[in-house]
Amino acid sequence: ITSDAIEINFEASQGSVDLSSDNKLTGCQGSELKDDQGNVPSAAADVNTRLPTSHRYYVKDLTLSCATAGRTGQALVPNVETLQITYGVSSGWQIDQPDKRRPVRYVDATHVTNWADVVAVHLCVLMRSSEPVLDKRETATHGYTDCDGKALTASDGYLRRAYATTVALRNRVAL
């Protein structure tokens, strides 16, 4: 099963990331973030501290993982078979025309022709049970619906379920 990956670039602040025990901004792996000079500023000393950073989310070895720029990834969630990401594209985003700010279709990254028209991201994670739920003597199959909405069956004994959500990009959509 192939899986997507996504990298999110943002300004880390007290409200957007976890803090270490000594009030330093941390990345998705718990490591302290550094500024352009290599210093690790304290968010407690300056609540307005903001550091440019990025988090890359991907599936490796049945695990949803995250890597911060320049670091090796860390496992976050086990038993993830696939991460599927599609992008909600508007018909020509315009701030003064609400109908132009809504997605008219969802496409994968290879079919986005103008990233300025992306107004939402649809995420789907296909999870798998940690152990088979069927005894090896049983021959029944389990049905499930994948991230594409297809009804499938599995005969390996593992239970599967897709979880999905759509996120509006706040800097592009007025809801």
> What is the average pLDDT score of the chain?
86
Pick the residue with more confidence: 113 or 93? 113
User: What b/e readout covers 88-99, taking b as 16+ CB neighbours within 10 angstroms?
Assistant: bbbeebeeeeee
Residues 108, 76: Cα–Cα separation, whole Å: 24
Confidence of residue 136 (pLDDT cuts 50, 70, 90): low
Percent pLDDT > 90 in the chain is 41
What does the pLDDT read at residue 57?
94
Task: Compute CA distances 78 → 7, 40, 58, 139, whole Å.
Answer: 20, 30, 12, 26
Q: Which two tokens stand for residue 134?
A: 């069927």
**H/E stretch holding 24:** none
* Strand, helix or coil for residue 66: strand
Give 106-126 pLDDT, tens digit per residue.
999 999 998 888 989 999 999
Residue 167 CA to its chain's centroid (Å): 10
